[in-house]
């Protein structure tokens, strides 16, 4: 039995020395000390020995077991260390590598212009109003005094959703919605998206406008010119020339188109202003009494003006962009410049 024990010990210690993984060590432990292990079997055989021999052999078995346990623990520890070392090596992070910089977004030029215009008008006491992009014919045309056969109602310009539902072709219906909701005095601007069936270098089927409306008891054409002059001077610079030309809109009377001195050539004449020295930037006029009639205002005792402008056109002039389509292609090389 002694010899058997000695042999088992030597074989096992050798196996522990030669083992290279935690799995192998675990297998050795089970084969020796598990329920069906060799040393366990030997211990069970102690009862068959002479009573006098039992304590001596028992002690020997214990010491062999302890020795093996110690060797196993040491080998397990060193296998664990090797495993950790290998992982540290393979998962090493090079902290000296430069970081990756996420691209920072910028505001779209159209948003920049809307914000700037809203803030100029906020300084003049105008609040921001909004309306739906899918609009009823009545708000988009009828209440704005477009006669039934007016060419702007033609399918060429308007995207219809249903018979009398359409994608608004301008922000002017917000005038109507505002006047129906509140009584004068009114001072609002309404930025928003509008739609027209038109597409080339200076037209997009989806674009943006800002509408303005001021209604009170004694608003004059002079107020209109004053407000628009302050506005264009703030947007394009103090010395920008402004001129008003007679025009026609169904919802204003009298109506005007507002030009600024060409921001490219300063008025001398160039390709952008088609050698006229002037650039048209908005439409305006005194609100037509017919419009007041549709919103049940007393046209005798109030007066007001309205104006409307295209944002993309202003953005193109302000930033020197020659093709409107650039604004909607979302090419990051273009957008990053703003
Ligand atoms: N709604 C017009 C358009 O889309 C622009 C406009 C012109 C608005 C004159 C106005 C105005 O309020 O008074 O072309």
Q: What is the pLDDT of residues 27-81, one digit of tens each?
A: 888 888 888 888 888 888 888 888 888 888 888 888 888 888 898 898 899 889 9
pLDDT average, residue stretch 4-18 = 87
**Residue 325: its H or E element:** none
User: Any residues with CB less than 8 A from the CB of 117 and at least 6 apart, and which?
Assistant: 189, 191, 210, 231, 235, 311, 314
Which residue in 318, 250, 235 sits closest to 288, CA to CA?
250
Residue 197 Cα to ligand 1 middle (Å): 17
Cβ atoms of residues 245 and 257 within 8 Å: yes
Residue 308 Cα to ligand 1 middle (Å): 4
Helix (H, G, I), strand (E, B) or coil at 169: coil
Indicate if the pLDDT at residue 181 is higher than 90: yes
Give the full edge-to-edge strand order of the sheet including 242-249: 127-128, 186-195, 206-216, 303-310, 278-287, 252-261, 242-249
B/e letters for 115-143, b = 16+ CB within 10 Å, e = fewer, are eebbebbeeeebeebebeeebbbebbbbb
Angle among Cα 294, 295, 298 to the nearest 5 degrees reads 95
Sequence length of the chain is 338
On the question of a cis peptide bond just before residue 210, with omega within 30 degrees of 0, the verdict is: no
- To test ligand 1's pocket by mutation, which of 283, 286, 287 has the most ligand atoms within 8 angstroms of CB? 283
Whole-model pTM?
0.72
Ligand 1 neighbour 286 (Cβ under 6 A): no
Q: Residue 311 and residue 207: Cα distance in Å, rounded?
A: 8
Question: pLDDT band for position 155 (50/70/90)?
Answer: low
Which residue in 284, 131, 140 sits closest to 221, CA to CA?
284
- To test ligand 1's pocket by mutation, which of 145, 167, 170, 253 has the most ligand atoms within 8 angstroms of CB? 170
Query: Which structure tokens are listed for 43?
Result: 């211990």
Strands 252-261 and 278-287: antiparallel
Ligand 1 neighbour 313 (Cβ under 6 A): no
Predicted confidence at residue 156, as pLDDT, reads 67
Indicate if the pLDDT at residue 137 is higher than 90: yes
Ligand 1 neighbour 204 (Cβ under 6 A): no
* Per-residue pLDDT tens over the stretch 86-131: 999 999 888 898 988 888 889 999 999 999 999 999 999 999 999 9
Predicted confidence at residue 200, as pLDDT, reads 85
- Beta strands of the chain (E only): which ranges? 127-128, 134-136, 165-167, 186-195, 206-216, 242-249, 252-261, 278-287, 303-310
Q: Residue 283 and residue 63: Cα distance in Å, rounded?
A: 105
Tell me the CA distances in angstroms from 31 to 10, 35, 62, 120, 321, one per residue in order: 15, 9, 17, 87, 82
């Amino acid at each position: 039995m002694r010899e058997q024990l000695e042999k088992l010990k030597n074989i096992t210690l050798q196996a522990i020395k030669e083992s290279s993984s935690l799995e192998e060590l675990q297998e050795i432990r089970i084969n020796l000390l598990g329920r069906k292990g060799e040393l366990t079997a030997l211990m069970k055989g102690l009862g068959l020995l002479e009573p006098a021999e039992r304590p001596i052999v028992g002690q020997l078995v214990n010491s062999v077991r302890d020795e093996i346990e110690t060797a196993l623990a040491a080998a397990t520890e060193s296998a664990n260390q090797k495993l950790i070392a290998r992982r540290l090596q393979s998962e090493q992070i090079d902290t000296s590598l430069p970081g990756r910089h996420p691209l920072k977004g910028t505001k779209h030029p159209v948003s920049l212009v809307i914000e700037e215009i809203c803030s100029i008008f906020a300084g003049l006491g105008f609040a921001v109003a909004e309306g739906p992009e899918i609009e009823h014919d009545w708000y988009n045309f009828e209440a704005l005094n477009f006669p039934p056969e007016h060419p702007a109602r033609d399918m060429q310009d308007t995207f219809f959703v249903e018979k009398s539902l359409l994608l608004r072709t301008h922000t002017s219906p917000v005038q109507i919605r505002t006047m129906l909701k509140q009584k004068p005095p009114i001072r609002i601007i309404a930025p928003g998206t509008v739609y027209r069936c038109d597409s080339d270098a200076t037209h997009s089927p989806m674009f943006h406008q800002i509408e303005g409306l001021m209604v009170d008891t004694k608003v004059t054409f002079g107020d209109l010119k004053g407000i628009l002059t302050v506005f264009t001077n703030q947007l394009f610079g103090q010395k920008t020339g402004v001129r008003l030309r007679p025009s026609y809109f169904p919802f204003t009377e009298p109506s005007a188109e507002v030009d600024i001195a060409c921001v490219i050539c300063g008025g001398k004449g160039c390709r952008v202003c088609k050698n006229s020295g002037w650039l048209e930037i908005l439409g305006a006029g005194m609100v037509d009494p017919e419009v007041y009639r549709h919103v049940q205002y007393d046209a005798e005792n109030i007066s007001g003006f309205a104006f409307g402008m295209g944002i993309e056109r202003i953005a193109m002039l302000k930033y020197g962009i020659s093709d409107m389509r650039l604004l909607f292609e979302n090419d990051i090389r273009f957008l990053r410049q703003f």
